């Protein structure tokens, strides 16, 4: 029996069951376009609400169990979305390396954990990486981790969403297309902000492309603008279906990338309802839905 790959993560089915009420439907009806995909906001932060110690610095917050949880979430969504700042800072992989084990948390061989999701082709449970990059800040190459994983058949090629006027060099576009990725053009400029897409537009575009569920991982600008409804009060109604946040027992101190959205109109607090707290190793995972 083959041993587990060295970067393998294991997530017990018992813990997956606790998350299920907050996840998109397991067996969606079909792959037809939808108005808006099921949208999960998910990230890890410190006790002082930092998602990175400093701007531009890749920072580990999640312990092994909550990291496996995040990778499980990746298998449960059609797409995973980040902003250009995160792509530049982290060179992320944005694939899933988890296997869900029915009983034990420490299997040792591939046969024990049912590698490939119980016989499915591996790519069916991988999310499509989406990078919001209106101005083309992310200078990806064939060596970027997400491209290498796609080339190795361990993930999908990324979709890079740029503004209509942004130049993407031919060679770069080819790098994407060779691994099944593509450049998507979407108008910016709502709210006079040329560096941002409207969230309704982003989610509508993804729905039109057949994406039925998306997990939004970050970074700071993306999370804060999503929680603020993209700055457009009309937009925030129903943008986010579920929130799953890992809280790590550490303080980073001032100067980090902090989740702290602008105040809502009238100064009301933004709050979660239907809350569930799940301890995972030394972290705790908070699940909820945005109260309206």
Ligand X SMILES: NC(=O)C1=CN([C@@H]2O[C@H](COP(=O)(O)OP(=O)(O)OC[C@H]3O[C@@H](n4cnc5c(N)ncnc54)[C@H](O)[C@@H]3O)[C@@H](O)[C@H]2O)C=CC1
Ligand Y SMILES: Nc1nc(O)c(N)c(N[C@@H]2O[C@H](COP(=O)(O)O)[C@@H](O)[C@H]2O)n1
Interacting residues toward ligand Y by CB under 6 A: 44, 59-62, 70, 82, 86, 90, 92-94, 217-218, 246
Assign 3-class secondary structure to 246-262: EECCCCCCCCCEECCCC
Nearer to ligand Y, 34 or 149 (CB): 149
Sites for ligand X among residues 37-76 (CB under 6 A) = 43-44, 51-52, 55-59, 61
Choose from ligand X, ligand Y, none: what does 94 bind? Cβ within 5-8 Å by kind.
ligand Y
Strands 182-185 and 159-162: parallel
| CB of 54 vs ligand X, minimal distance in Å | 8
- Identify the helix (H) or strand (E) that includes residue 182: strand 182-185
Among 36, 67, 128, 196, binds ligand X (CB under 6 A): 196
Choose from ligand X, ligand Y, none: what does 101 bind? Cβ within 5-8 Å by kind.
none
Choose from ligand Y, ligand X, none: what does 149 bind? Cβ within 5-8 Å by kind.
none
Round to whole Å and give the CA distance between 123 and 197: 29
Site string for ligand X, 117-156 (x = CB under 6 A): ---------------x-xx---------------------
Q: How many CB atoms lie within 10 A of CB 154?
A: 17
> What are 137's two structure tokens?
């800040």
Residue 130's nearest CA partner among 232, 210, 242, 53 is 210
Choose from ligand Y, ligand X, none: what does 93 bind? Cβ within 5-8 Å by kind.
ligand Y
Residue 148's nearest CA partner among 171, 169, 176 is 176
Round to whole Å and give the CA distance between 228 and 265: 10
Among 24, 77, 90, 138, binds ligand X (CB under 6 A): 90
Choose from ligand Y, ligand X, none: what does 221 bind? Cβ within 5-8 Å by kind.
ligand X
Is residue 40 classed as helix, strand or coil in its secondary structure? Answer: strand
């Amino acid at each position: 029996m083959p041993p587990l790959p060295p970067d393998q993560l294991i997530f017990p089915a018992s813990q997956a069951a606790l998350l299920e009420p907050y996840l998109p439907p397991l067996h969606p009806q079909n792959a037809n376009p939808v108005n808006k995909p099921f949208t999960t906001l998910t990230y890890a932060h410190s006790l002082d609400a930092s998602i990175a110690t400093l701007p531009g610095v890749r920072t580990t917050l999640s312990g092994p169990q909550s990291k496996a949880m995040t990778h499980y979430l990746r298998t449960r969504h059609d797409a995973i979305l980040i902003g250009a700042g995160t792509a530049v800072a982290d060179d992320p992989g944005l694939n899933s390396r988890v296997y869900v084990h029915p009983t034990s948390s420490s299997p040792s061989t591939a046969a024990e954990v049912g590698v490939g999701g119980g016989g499915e082709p591996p790519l069916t449970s991988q999310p499509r990486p989406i990078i919001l990059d209106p101005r083309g800040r992310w200078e990806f190459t064939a060596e970027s981790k997400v491209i290498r994983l796609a080339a190795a058949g361990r993930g999908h090629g990324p979709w890079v969403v740029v503004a209509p006027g942004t130049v993407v060099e031919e060679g770069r576009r080819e790098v994407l297309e060779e691994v099944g990725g593509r450049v998507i053009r979407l108008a910016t400029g709502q709210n006079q902000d040329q560096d941002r897409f409207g969230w309704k537009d982003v989610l509508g575009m993804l729905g039109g492309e057949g994406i039925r569920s998306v997990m939004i991982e970050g970074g700071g600008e993306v999370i804060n603008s999503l929680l603020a409804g993209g700055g457009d009060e009309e937009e925030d109604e129903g943008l986010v279906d579920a929130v799953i946040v890992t809280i790590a027992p550490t303080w980073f101190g001032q100067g980090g990338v902090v989740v702290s959205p602008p105040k809502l109109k009238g100064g009301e607090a933004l709050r979660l309802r239907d809350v569930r707290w799940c301890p995972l190793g030394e972290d705790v995972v908070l699940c909820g839905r945005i109260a309206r």
